[in-house]
């Protein structure tokens, strides 16, 4: 005879089954792979009037974009990578370059931020904390007036940040600004670094320096200085901690990659670690959220994108960590990568 299961026994079975089900679910959760989302994106030149959006995690090309512009001279990703920022000539206009924005992965909604009646724009960078652009430009009416300016992505809020003949202390020597180029926002957007050409007030000796200033143009401070005839700096960019500037140094037709400690003014040369098959980088940028440098080697007609890691020690020393690796490869002579820029992204499509 089969005896009926007692009520308290059925309850015990039910509790045991529930417990095992919960444990099984927890085990399944523990075994699920953790996907780490890199909340940043890379933009790079792809041809005369085309750019690409590249994933920093995989090197995959998310989009290949050709906005309705004649050419792309400089480019950046806007605030939170929502828009692409490019400089180009106005259609049917003069040689003067202006700033445009467009939708990041389609090139649509092309919007002209600056006018060719005001400035010939040379370099641009986008703020990491708001929809602002800092740019260097030449006044179209005063050809010797190359200086730094700031404007919102929608064309409002214009401010001039440097001026010709402005007095700057250059490591103990009183100098006047001759011209200023290649501005780059700090990670918190409180500072802007740039390349500055100076003339001594008394002796008129030229200097070429790397300078930083507050975001409103105040408190200009020269960090690094050499005679102007010998060098030119470009692709100046900040490390994510705001402690170092990485830049290209063209010295007598020989390109070097250098790292400047903002606090100690110590400078090191990392050209050798970023030289690929005997070719030096022609452009570089730093990650906004990791200790990485992205760069491309010089190749006629195009090139690959490479990335390399670095570490900063407890005593604030910069050191390259390991070897470079290819991130995105040149594609069948039809798509090359150049002039990369790396910006934060909110992950929303």
Tens of pLDDT along 159-205?
A: 999 998 899 999 899 999 999 999 999 999 999 999 999 999 988 88
What one-character DSSP code corresponds to residue 43?
Answer: E
The per-residue pLDDT for 103 is 97
| Residue whose token pair is 């085990």 | 27
By the 8 A CB rule, do 292 and 233 touch?
A: no
Alpha-carbon distance values, 322 to 234, 273, 346 (Å): 25, 9, 30
Q: Quote the tokens at residue 344.
A: 């934060």
**Rounded Cα distance, 347 and 207, in Å:** 43
How many other C-beta atoms can be found within 10 angstroms of the C-beta atom of residue 276? 17
Sketch the domain layout of the chain as residue ranges: 39-344
pTM for this predicted structure: 0.87
By the 8 A CB rule, do 160 and 217 touch?
A: yes
The per-residue pLDDT for 140 is 77
Topology at the third CATH level for domain 39-344: Neuraminidase (2.120.10)
The per-residue pLDDT for 5 is 44
By the 8 A CB rule, do 307 and 292 touch?
A: yes
**Rounded Cα distance, 24 and 82, in Å:** 42
Q: What is the distance between the terminal CA atoms of the chain, rounded to a whole angstrom?
A: 67
Name the more confident of 46 and 47: 46
By the 8 A CB rule, do 167 and 201 touch?
A: yes
**Rounded Cα distance, 248 and 251, in Å:** 9
Per-residue pLDDT at 1 exceeds 70: no
Tens of pLDDT along 227-271?
A: 776 678 999 999 999 999 999 998 777 889 999 999 999 999 999
The per-residue pLDDT for 250 is 85
Please state the rounded mean pLDDT for residues 272-301. Answer: 89
28-42, 199-213, 270-284: least confident range? 28-42
The kind and range of the H/E element at 9 are helix 7-31
Please state the rounded mean pLDDT for residues 217-230. Answer: 87
Q: Please, which pLDDT band fits residue 15 given cuts at 50, 70 and 90?
A: very low
From edge to edge, which strands make up the β-sheet containing 292-297?
A: 281-286, 292-297, 305-312, 318-328
45-49, 175-179, 212-216, 296-300: least confident range? 296-300
Residue 22's φ and ψ, nearest 5 degrees, are -65, -45
Please name every residue paired with 214 in a beta bridge, in sequence order, or none if there are none. 191
């Amino acid at each position: 005879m089969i005896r009926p299961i007692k009520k308290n026994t059925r309850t015990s079975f039910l509790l045991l089954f529930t417990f095992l089900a919960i444990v099984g679910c927890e085990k399944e959760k523990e075994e699920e792979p953790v996907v780490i989302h890199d909340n940043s994106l890379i933009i790079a030149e792809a041809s005369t009037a085309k750019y690409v959006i590249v994933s920093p995690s995989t090197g995959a090309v998310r989009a290949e974009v050709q906005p309705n512009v004649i050419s792309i001279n400089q480019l950046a990703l806007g605030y939170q990578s929502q828009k692409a920022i490019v400089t180009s000539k106005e259609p049917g206009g003069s040689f003067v370059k202006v700033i445009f924005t467009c939708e990041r992965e389609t090139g649509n909604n092309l919007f002209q931020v600056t006018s060719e009646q005001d400035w010939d724009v040379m370099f641009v960078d986008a703020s990491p904390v708001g929809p602002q652009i800092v740019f260097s430009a030449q006044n179209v009416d005063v050809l010797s007036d190359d200086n730094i300016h700031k404007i919102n992505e929608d064309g409002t809020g214009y401010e001039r940040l440097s001026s010709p003949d402005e007095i700057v202390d250059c490591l103990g020597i009183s100098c006047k600004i001759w011209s200023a180029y290649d501005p780059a926002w700090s990670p918190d957007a409180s500072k802007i670094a740039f390349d500055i050409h100076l003339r001594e007030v008394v002796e008129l000796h030229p200097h070429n320096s790397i300078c930083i200033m507050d975001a409103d143009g105040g408190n200009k401070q020269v960090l690094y200085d050499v005679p102007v005839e010998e060098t030119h700096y470009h692709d100046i960019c900040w490390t994510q901690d705001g402690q170092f500037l990485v830049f290209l140094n063209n010295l007598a037709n020989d390109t070097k990659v250098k790292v400047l400690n903002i606090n100690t003014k110590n400078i090191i040369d990392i050209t050798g670690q970023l030289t690929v098959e005997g070719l030096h980088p022609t452009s570089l940028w730093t990650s906004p959220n990791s200790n990485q440098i992205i760069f491309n080697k010089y190749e006629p007609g195009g090139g690959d994108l490479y990335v390399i890691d670095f570490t900063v020690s407890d005593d604030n020393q910069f050191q390259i960590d390991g070897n470079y690796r290819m991130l995105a490869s040149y594609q069948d002579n039809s798509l090359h990568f150049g002039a990369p820029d790396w910006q934060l992204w909110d992950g929303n499509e």
